Structure 1
């Protein structure tokens, strides 16, 4: 019976003695199994399945001495061991003792001085040579190794995907690392979006044990390395000698956080086939969907290339692709369709993405590749939520809630806290959307709870970007719940959450995010101010809206800029009403007029009409308080424009505008009679 049959690990078929110290793989444990025999250094090189004669053993035991590699051995020689080295040293001492000592004449003074000078030069050269070309010190801090090895990723092309390949355990000759890098280079993506960076050897270059130590340290500190370098994807893992498999894990940023990394896993054959290379490289590129610094065109081109490369393979997959690789194939296709669907606002692409995610779920199977399955459920839930929000399809949002809840069951906080927090945030978004639409306060309350659970992991110190984003989303859920429940205390909690978010989403670091949070903060303050007749709160809302406008570019953020102007107009009009004055009406009219310039009647008829109605309200008030007939006439025209659209798009709202129109017409007659 061979080792694999003896240990029969159904999850990975990896015998205990194939897992090296510091391995990322789970150790199989069977009560009825016998532990493999501990091998001595003398017998280790002659095992079945061991490396070829002359090469280092890459599967050391915890109690084995590290192998000493003799670079000068003959073609048929065995690897040198500590015992062989000691024997060689003893023989050298014997030879030295047998050598006769021959007296030499003393050198002349001139030659002695010259000799000292030559020795000094040689010594200095030796020191410099040792410093720059000699063996490197043992690894104490992998961070120091990264500093020396990895270039400044901020200086590379910002529109490329930076991929760092760390040393692989059991890959002393870097053969498998070379295969991985070659596989990445086969996928063109968006005009070569992949950058491969190989870290230098920070250990003793001729010591296989130090190489193993280096790879183990890299594996243990992968998240910290990814965070330190700012890499978009960090690849690490190990080669399994007995199974000829390459176990790779990848860290990549989640939700554009740049500091919050998820980990994915792939099992690949060490002899890459064409299809396997394509699936692997396309999966790496599909991770660009979470990289916020790439522009839309680069991501769109990359996703199109992903579809072009993977679609033929998915139609007729070859038998050498494993179930996990097929799952990765369908998952990458889903990512590509999802991104393109969002960019083009194409519901068909979103539906196609969901279909691909469902195919991936069948390949992963819930209880076989549980982590892959849970991450796939997360992405499917996000796609279902996006489709449901876009097309007002509540059934899809309900399916998203189910998918995300199932993923949370299989990805508990105790196993993967960062992924668990991400799932909680996505679940909260779906609950908040459906709860708002259905006026379901319980769903809104559940959304608030989910966001607060996410914050128990996404603390400000370690995950500032995610902390700020989740605080913003928590504020939105509290705002919706507070308005539905008519509870000022909940709205006050929303204000607290928004203000917390602004501590991270600053105007300097995240100007657009800062502006969006300011808009939501202003809306909540205005709701509180209107309920309490508190002009101070309404004035704070005005400040928030103006802060948002200062950070928004009208050309690149048309809707956000126009929304901020429209909201500012509402706050100024409310302030004028509360103060019973016309001091802020002109500014309110200006804000509404600027917003109207960005709302197109053909493409955005409802917003255009609502803004026309609000312009009518301001003009109506100005005409009444100033007894200005021209303002009233302009108000009537604005009301009529609003009704012409709202009678079709929002009949109930149109009835209220008709009532305002009638009052304006009466006012017009009253002013005319008084004059």
Structure 2
């Protein structure tokens, strides 16, 4: 049961030297003492040790700051260097206060603390060093400030060791834990270095692939440094590798547009243009952090009016948002765009609307790719803040695009939520898309109309998978109609990439309808789904779009497997054989090394397919292939501890083994 530390326990933490171990491993200390340490508890305890528990002086005329109290109680002794220059003392004070809070503790016997100065051993210094290096801000301190901080904490540890002699067993346990945590810290550093090496290898692989294909993306980069900085950022953010290529394209284009914007002369003071130009040069050189820092300085330059200052701040924050967006740092991008939105809203609401849209879009990227609460934040912001700001009568296009974005956010939320909550989100997404289509008519906005029809098809397809009986079939039928309408504008000639994507989506919904329908109606829908996937593969070739090619091959395998199960005789066997070939083609891209989850799911798909081949042919070889495939998938599912897929694979494997044994 979690309980807060009493004042007595906090005091004892300082006396027994436990706070060092508590800071390094609060969870482990909780196990030893039966106490749950909050961050504030640890901060207070560490401060007690760091400044030797120097509480508020009973004499109110005496100094109260941490360093000044040390001077008062210890005297101005040269060996402690407490008469350091004011800047060093201030830095130490700020460091302790910033790192561990300035909390007052009961008065202690400081004479023994002073005595400990004469008996500080290497052990004390080692513990102090280990503690200080884990405090935020330590690396940023000047050498003199680090030295003074180290002496203060080292002496404090010495005092604590003197005090603990009455409790040797407890201190020994604490010290052993401290050593264990140093080993754990070393291991965590090793893992960090290992991850960095892996990231470097991924970057090298991506560069080698692009160079081998002489990809035009390499020539489109502003500089090698800028190109590399994007890749390094993607690796650091753990952006899925299958998204790197598209992220590179948008990142390069975004940087180019931002550099052009920053390079333009303004009518503002020369210092403004100078900082803008420096930020542009930093971006060209791949120094995005430097560019951000320059833009931050730019936002703080005085302007003639409050309005000008606010708009400059909004513009620079939006530019900082763009820098982060280009590097897949979506949370940081959203934060900067929201700051830009708030700064511009009182002065230029129409400009603020654009910043708000960018913020919500960045949150959607963050939530869709990395999970967390970003999608909920985006839905709330769009619904309660941004849409009420946009007048439909005078800004109809902006209003419709924001409704479309809300639909995208709610659609993803609906897929991720279970039960009625998910269905409700999907219905809200459907409503948002239909509102957008009131403005995005085929006549006035054909491209936007087709895009929104495709999005509506996606949400209706997901609703169809959730709803029972005729309601589900009706939703899928509406989804089919939406996709077919989108294809009237998204032709292969004019929009090949979007055409292929919509053909793939149409294939999925027809496949779902085929599974739900009985008899010839079901076979007809599955046959149409097969045709849609084969159409998509005319554009989604392995050479040009390897990831999308593999995904569509996997989808083709699923529909052929269903057709094989429905068709009799050789027709059924042929369909199942084609399905296995499609899965194995997908696995040429979905390798276990690069796409372990997709690899495992495709291997899982091979299991029931091979079982169906055995049923139709009596040949036992497909069973062996199916067992091998599902065993491999199960290894991956266990490695990621996915209970749902583990149970599903174990059930499938058990069935295949039972049939092989008979």
Partner of 1:605: 596
- Please give the per-residue CA displacement for 1:131-173, whole angstroms capped at 9, x wherever unaligned: xxxxxxxxxxxxxxxxxxxxxxxxxx99999xxxxxxxxxxxx
2:500 paired residue among 498, 511, 515: 515
Is residue 496 from structure 1 mapped to residue 496 from structure 2 by the alignment?
no
Partner of 1:656: 648
Superposed displacement of residue 309, structure 1:
4.6
1:416 paired residue among 395, 407, 418: 395
CA distance in 2, matches of 1:417, 1:529: 39
Partner of 1:530: 515
Partner of 2:380: 402
Question: As a proportion of its length, which structure holds more strand?
Answer: 1
Is residue 446 from structure 1 mapped to residue 431 from structure 2 by the alignment?
no
1:459 paired residue among 425, 432, 441: 441
CA distance in 2, matches of 1:278, 1:452: 48
Superposed displacement of residue 272, structure 1:
3.4
CA distance in 1, matches of 2:633, 2:454: 33
**Alignment check: 8 A CA contact 1:441 1:484 kept:** yes
Superposed displacement of residue 374, structure 1:
2.0
Superposed displacement of residue 270, structure 1:
7.6
- Please give the per-residue CA displacement for 1:89-108, whole angstroms capped at 9, x wherever unaligned: xxxxxxxxxxxxxxxxxxxx
The alignment partner of 1:459 has SS state of coil
Q: List runs of 5+ in structure 1 lacking aligned partners.
A: 1-156, 162-187, 192-253, 255-264, 286-299, 342-348, 671-675
CA distance in 1, matches of 2:523, 2:285: 51
The alignment partner of 2:333 has SS state of helix
Partner of 2:323: 336
**Alignment check: 8 A CA contact 1:468 1:501 kept:** yes
Partner of 2:301: 318
1:433 paired residue among 390, 398, 412: 412
CA distance in 1, matches of 2:415, 2:628: 34
Decide which structure has the larger Cα Rg and report it: 1
Residues 271 and 301 (structure 1), Cα distance of their counterparts in 2 relative to 1, 3 Å cut: closer
CA distance in 1, matches of 2:219, 2:587: 39
**Alignment check: 8 A CA contact 2:265 2:273 kept:** no
**Alignment check: 8 A CA contact 1:189 1:305 kept:** no
Residues 357 and 369 (structure 1), Cα distance of their counterparts in 2 relative to 1, 3 Å cut: same
**Alignment check: 8 A CA contact 2:283 2:291 kept:** no
CA distance in 2, matches of 1:159, 1:414: 45
Q: How is 1:577-656 mapped onto 2 (pairs within 5 angstroms)?
A: 577-580=565-568, 581-649=572-640, 650-656=642-648
Q: List runs of 5+ in structure 2 lacking aligned partners.
A: 1-215, 225-249, 251-260
CA distance in 1, matches of 2:551, 2:626: 21
CA distance in 1, matches of 2:427, 2:386: 21
Superposed displacement of residue 407, structure 1:
1.2
Q: Alpha carbon RMSD of aligned pairs, Å?
A: 3.3
Superposed displacement of residue 458, structure 1:
1.8
TM-score of the pair, normalised by structure 2: 0.55
Is residue 371 from structure 1 mapped to residue 350 from structure 2 by the alignment?
yes
Residues 313 and 527 (structure 1), Cα distance of their counterparts in 2 relative to 1, 3 Å cut: closer
Partner of 1:666: 658
CA distance in 1, matches of 2:219, 2:391: 34
- Please give the per-residue CA displacement for 1:422-453, whole angstroms capped at 9, x wherever unaligned: 11111111111112111321211111111111
Residues 270 and 652 (structure 1), Cα distance of their counterparts in 2 relative to 1, 3 Å cut: closer
Superposed displacement of residue 466, structure 1:
1.5
**Alignment check: 8 A CA contact 2:390 2:399 kept:** yes
CA distance in 2, matches of 1:449, 1:279: 46
Aligned residues: 392
Partner of 2:360: 381
Partner of 1:32: none
Q: How is 1:27-46 mapped onto 2 (pairs within 5 angstroms)?
A: none
Partner of 2:335: 355
Superposed displacement of residue 563, structure 1:
0.8
The alignment partner of 1:456 has SS state of helix
CA distance in 1, matches of 2:427, 2:537: 31
**Alignment check: 8 A CA contact 2:560 2:578 kept:** yes
**Alignment check: 8 A CA contact 1:389 1:433 kept:** yes
CA distance in 1, matches of 2:644, 2:500: 32
Superposed displacement of residue 607, structure 1:
1.4
CA distance in 1, matches of 2:267, 2:465: 60
- Please give the per-residue CA displacement for 1:496-516, whole angstroms capped at 9, x wherever unaligned: 111111122222222221111
Range with greater deviation from structure 2 (535-544 or 368-377):
368-377
1:390 paired residue among 349, 369, 384: 369
